[in-house]
Amino acid sequence: MSRRSGERGQPPLRIFVLDREALSLAVRGDRKMIAWLDLAARGQAEVVTSPMTVVEACDGRITEQRWDWVLSRLDVADIGKHQARRAAGS
């Protein structure tokens, strides 16, 4: 994340975490998901997902170019066991 809420008088950065369904919608061109990706491209939001979510959402009907386009506009978080447990609140 490049900035947090309240830093240098900037509005809070919006963070969208995509689950399998949201990522699937994005690669299929859903307007709401594309709008979120556009916000990220303009630096107004951060869109993230996990490596496992990419695996789960993989669909052979979607072209490789479409996947490349969507994945180029979001961050695939590289997290380990410790970070996953912290995120889960354990």
Is the residue at 7 inside a domain? no
Q: Pairing between strand 14-17 and 75-76?
A: unpaired
Is the residue at 85 inside a domain? no
Is the residue at 43 inside a domain? yes
pLDDT of residue 11: 64
Mean pLDDT over 17-46 rounds to 93
pLDDT at 2 over 50: no
pLDDT band for 9, please (50, 70, 90 cuts).
low
pLDDT of residue 27: 95
Is the residue at 9 inside a domain? no
> How many domains, the chain?
1
Q: Rounded to 5 degrees, what angle do the CA atoms 70, 28, 15 make? A: 50
Is the residue at 8 inside a domain? no
CB 15 within 8 A of CB 45: yes
| Domain range for 20 | 14-78
pLDDT at 13 over 80: no
Is the residue at 49 inside a domain? yes
Is the residue at 25 inside a domain? yes
The two structure tokens encoding residue 32? 């709401």
Three-state SS for 15? Answer: strand
pLDDT band for 30, please (50, 70, 90 cuts).
very high
The two structure tokens encoding residue 57? 């959402």
pLDDT of residue 12: 54
Cα distance between residue 34 and residue 64, in whole Å:
17
Is the residue at 72 inside a domain? yes
